[in-house]
Amino acid sequence: MIYLNGKWMPIEEACVPVLDRGFIFGDGVYEVIPAYSRKPFRLNRHLNRLQHSLDGIRLKNPFSNEEWKQLLEQVIASNEGEDQYLYLHITRGVAKRDHAFPLNVAPTVFIMSNPLLPPPAELLVSGASAITALDNRWIRCDVKAISLLPNVLLRQLAVDVQSLETILIRDGFLTEGAASNIFIVRNNILLAPPKSHLMLPGITYDVVLELAATHNIKHEVREIAESEVRTADEILLTSSTKEIMPITTLDGKPVGTGQPGKMFAQLHALYQNYKATQMRGHVSDPLQS
Ligand code: PMP
């Protein structure tokens, strides 16, 4: 069952008018929120990022955080599966085609849930391959906009050569993946590019940096040159649906030893443990409640 503008229905019955500005202009924002054991993970952080995206496109939030929480709970309850990923999507609504914002138009709000499957075990054991490409997206990549055409084209470059992800380089520096954040490891130090308008502030990215800080893993948040990515000991990919994955081949060449490294093993174990304790409610995370 999905939610569309105040109504609940099977996804096959859900329709939006062709003049929806999401359809016409890609004028909207979205969020993807994992729910483990039927409980949304880091919900407040996702709702804060949603607000940042809405502010970025000057669209009023149609709901309070409390209303979002209730709706998302209903979506989880009306779908099967312990682990789900919730997709919510807001557009500037339906109006005669004109670039300028329409006046007094209700936004379109859509929420669906899909099963959340862990990354394939073999990719965690042997690692995944990635390619690089120039980051040719706009310069508000901190806004989670539904207009994803550059990301779609960039990600397809990877799919075309049976790779998992396209790692993006802008002006000689690492930004992120086409649909993920990217960390590298050099000399046992975890390196993360700093948050800016050139990348999406990933919720999983934050978890990884918090785990590094609380477990005394050496880490630095700083600009990462393309040459450092190409000679990294390890490359790690993070996202809400892929969690943490090791990239062991880059542009056809092995990364470090060509096997998932020690930093991956440590962070992956810490992440799984953190997730489990969060879901059991044993860790008090003020931003979770
Ligand atoms: N960057 C981009 C471009 C993304 O699309 C995503 C999410 N798919 C991420 C980073 C990772 O963000 P999160 O950890 O919040 O899923």
Active site residue 144: yes
**Crossing angle of helices 203-214 and 262-280, rounded to 10°:** 100
pLDDT at 18: 98
Q: What is the pLDDT of residues 60-84, one digit of tens each?
A: 999 999 999 999 999 999 999 999 9
Q: Which domains does the chain have, with CATH numbers?
A: 2-115 (3.30.470.10), 121-279 (3.20.10.10)
Q: What is the pLDDT of residues 133-175, one digit of tens each?
A: 999 999 999 999 999 999 999 999 999 999 999 999 999 999 9
pLDDT at 281: 67
| Centroid of ligand 1 to alpha carbon of 199 (angstroms) | 9
Catalytic residue among 144, 218, 253, 275: 144
Q: Has residue 1 got a pLDDT over 50?
A: yes
Is the beta carbon of 200 within 6 A of some atom in ligand 1?
yes
Sign (positive or negative) of CA dihedral 177, 50, 288, 117: negative
* Alpha-carbon gap, residue 29 to 49, rounded angstroms: 10
Pairing of strands 234-239, 219-221: unpaired
pLDDT at 280: 77
Is the beta carbon of 203 within 6 A of some atom in ligand 1?
yes
Q: What is the pLDDT of residues 249-277, one digit of tens each?
A: 999 999 999 999 999 999 999 999 999 98
**pTM for the predicted model, two decimal places:** 0.96
Q: What is the pLDDT of residues 110-122, one digit of tens each?
A: 999 999 999 999 9
Is the beta carbon of 34 within 6 A of some atom in ligand 1?
no
> Is 3 in contact with 75 (CB distance < 8 Å)?
yes
Among 276, 210, 268, 214, smallest CA distance to 236 is for 268
* Alpha-carbon gap, residue 153 to 217, rounded angstroms: 35
Is the beta carbon of 166 within 6 A of some atom in ligand 1?
no
| Centroid of ligand 1 to alpha carbon of 98 (angstroms) | 30
What distance lies between CA 74 and its chain's CA centroid?
22
Q: What is the pLDDT of residues 193-247, one digit of tens each?
A: 999 999 999 999 999 999 999 999 999 999 999 999 999 999 999 999 999 999 9
Q: Which atom of ligand 1 is nearest to the CA of 141?
A: 3
